[in-house]
Amino acid sequence: MARPELILAYEPVAACESRLLAEGYSAAATAEIASYLAQSTDLAPEFDAIADACGRRGIRFVPVELDAARSVLAARNPGHCLVWTLTDGIAYFRGSAIPALARLGGHPVLGSDDAVFALCQDKFRSGAVLGALGMPVPNAGLCRDGAWIPAPPPAPLGYFVKPNRLGAKIGIWPDSRCQDLAEAEALSRRVFAAYRDDVVVQPYVPGRDVRASFLAVDPLADVERLGIFFVDSGGDFQTMADSLALYGDTGAAARASNTYAEPELIPVARSQPVADRRIREIASQLMRGLGLRDVFSMDFRVEADDTVHLIEFEVCPGLPCFDFRGYCLREWGLGLADAMAETAACRFAC
């Protein structure tokens, strides 16, 4: 009988860069956009460790670049494999096609429904759906090259501006928190010129950044296995420069020169147990109502009075990132390679 296979599909940075340059993006914008795929760069040196961890559990590990995924899946027996999507995207990146491709071939997938992969990459639309589900999301506007589609509500504390399809960090500058709509329009024009993207304009919400991570190593795991941590990076919000310093080639260079510094992970329950419980309730609602499962992350702002603001969710969290590694170790007592292998082994056992 053939050994079961864990197929990890990912989009490499170089492939994305080549495509964006061919589409006319500037070299600077291309480098920033493609850096969001840094987890594929960061995880590649650990493929041998993941293969070893899988091998000890009777599983063959097969990392597959995105452009080869169609032929690889076509040659696989759906009854003997499990597909795990490492990098997603619907605009600048293409990884969200993998769950749909797997479904087309009848291959089982680890993670949420393929529709959710596309939804979470459009921050305005996902925010609208989250609002309809009663989630505590800031009421956002959408602006395209300075033109409103619609405008956001009044905001006494000003606004926060971010690209709509590039996540919460890409292209965000230190002045991305602004005071009025005229400044937001100007930021929209800057983003459109650099990235050809709309911007989500949200009322600024105070508080500390919180990351909630989830991996169902045990298929029966529920929100009690969610890891909820303050992520204090030293600033009010993380900029593009902050993100680049942590991941990919820049992060590797910082580690080599001993200048790498990770934000501290502090359990929310330690100081704000009420907020911790509220976040678990939100995650439970989204697992039931939105179809989040297996592996995901959520970003929040939490105020001192335990007010919780849901900012966004991701179905392809950065597995090799410091926060997800910390979660696997603290919650499951496993390094990343063993956590991935054990998750796959439990699925095959089921």
What pLDDT digit, counting tens, does each position of 115-137 carry? 999 999 999 999 999 999 999 99
The pLDDT, as a whole number, for residue 350 is 84
Q: Which residues contact 251 (CB under 8 A, 6 or more apart)?
A: 38, 42, 244, 245, 260
| pLDDT reading at 236 higher than 90 | no
Closest Cα partner for 57 from 217, 208, 174, 165? 217
Cα(238)–Cα(56) distance, integer angstroms: 39
Contact 296, 126 (CB under 8 A): no
pLDDT at 175: 84
Cα-atom radius of gyration of the chain, to the nearest Å?
20
Flag the least confident range among 1-5, 47-51, 201-205, 301-305.
Answer: 1-5
For residue 65, the one-letter residue type is E
CA angle, 5 then 6 then 7, to 5°? 105
Strand partners, 97: none
| pLDDT at residue 262 in the model | 75
Check pLDDT > 90 for residue 237.
no
Give this prediction's pTM.
0.92
Parts of the chain belonging to CATH 3.30.470.20:
208-331
Residues 26-38: what's their mean pLDDT?
Answer: 92
Cα distance between residue 296 and residue 280, in whole Å = 13
SS3 114: helix
CA atoms within 13 A on the CB side of 113: 10
| pLDDT, tens only, 238-267 | 555 555 555 555 555 555 556 556 778 999
pLDDT class for 82, splitting at 50, 70, 90? Answer: very high
How does the average pLDDT of the chain come out, rounded?
Answer: 91
C-alpha triplet 4, 293, 264: angle, nearest 5°: 105
Name the one residue in this structure whose structure tokens are 């580690």. 255
Q: Quick one: CATH architecture of 208-331?
A: 2-Layer Sandwich (3.30)
* Largest Cα–Cα separation, the chain: 65
- Angstrom distance (rounded) from CA 275 to CA 279: 6
Pairwise CA distance, residues 67 & 9, whole Å: 9
> Side chain identity at 60, as an amino acid letter?
R
Count, residues in the chain: 350
Percent of the chain exceeding pLDDT 90 equals: 84
CA distances from 143 to 80, 126, 128, 185, 186 (A): 46, 16, 15, 7, 10
Q: What is the pLDDT of residue 152?
A: 96
Q: What number of CA atoms fall less than 13 Å from residue 214's CA on the CB side?
A: 30
Give the up-direction half-sphere exposure of residue 188: CA atoms within 13 A in the CB hemisphere: 23
Range 13-27 average pLDDT: 95
Domain with CATH 3.40.50 in the chain: 5-112
Round to whole Å and give the CA distance between 300 and 313. Answer: 9
Query: How do 199-203 and 159-163 pair as beta strands?
Result: antiparallel
Sign for the CA dihedral angle at 158, 124, 117, 285 comes to: positive
Q: What is the pLDDT of residues 206-219, one digit of tens each?
A: 999 999 999 999 99
Q: How high is the pLDDT of residue 245?
A: 53
Which of these CATH numbers, 1.10.150, 3.40.50, 1.20.1070, 3.10.260, describes 5-112?
3.40.50
Residue with tokens 């335990």: 306
DSSP assignment, residue 67?
G
pLDDT at 250: 57
CA 280 → CA 5, 186, 194, 314, distances in Å? 32, 37, 37, 16
What's the mean pLDDT in 150-161?
95
DSSP per residue, 198-232: -EEEEE---SEEEEEEEE-SSTT--GGG-EEEEEE
